[in-house]
Amino acid sequence: MAKPNAYLAKQAAVNQGFFEAGLQMGRQQILDMMSIVLNDPKYVKKDVFGKDRLLTVVKGIGECIDIFQKAWERDDETDYYRAKLDALLAGIYGEGMHDTFNKRYEYCCDFDYVRGRWR
């Protein structure tokens, strides 16, 4: 068995930190832009979202992220959460109106069941 490499383990931890920081920043960007758009009559006409309504939406998004987080991670249940997310979006947009998870998130790793590893 190969001896563990401390440098590679340290580098993997650094990379994971950058990944998590990127996720957090990306989520916050989306929430900020969504809040601005949903409060702007230019985009939603007279049905703008006020503070309370926006907080309800933001809370709901946070809960959905918590539920579906494994869809973007390397986990035993990743495929399940990706399929569940696709099914919910298909119910909203119709079967032909959206791409699958792997097309929407082309940079996410998926599991190769033939080789038994993430790619």
Dump pLDDT digits (tens) for 56-110.
Answer: 999 999 899 889 989 988 889 999 999 999 999 888 888 776 788 888 888 888 8
Within this chain, do residues 55 and 99 fall inside the same structural domain, yes or no? no
Spatial distance between the Cα atoms of 24 and 43, rounded to a whole number of angstroms: 26
Q: Are residues 50 and 78 in the same domain?
A: no
What is residue 59's predicted lDDT score, i.e. its pLDDT? 92
pTM of the complete model? 0.71
Specify the pLDDT at position 39: 93
Do residues 62 and 25 both lie within one domain? Answer: yes
The pLDDT score that the predictor gives to residue 118 is 80
Which residues have C-beta within 8 Å of that of residue 34, sequence separation ≥ 6?
57, 58, 61
59 and 95 housed in the same domain: no
Q: Which domain holds residue 91?
A: 73-119
Q: In this structure, is residue 2 part of a structural domain? A: no
pLDDT at residue number 97? 67
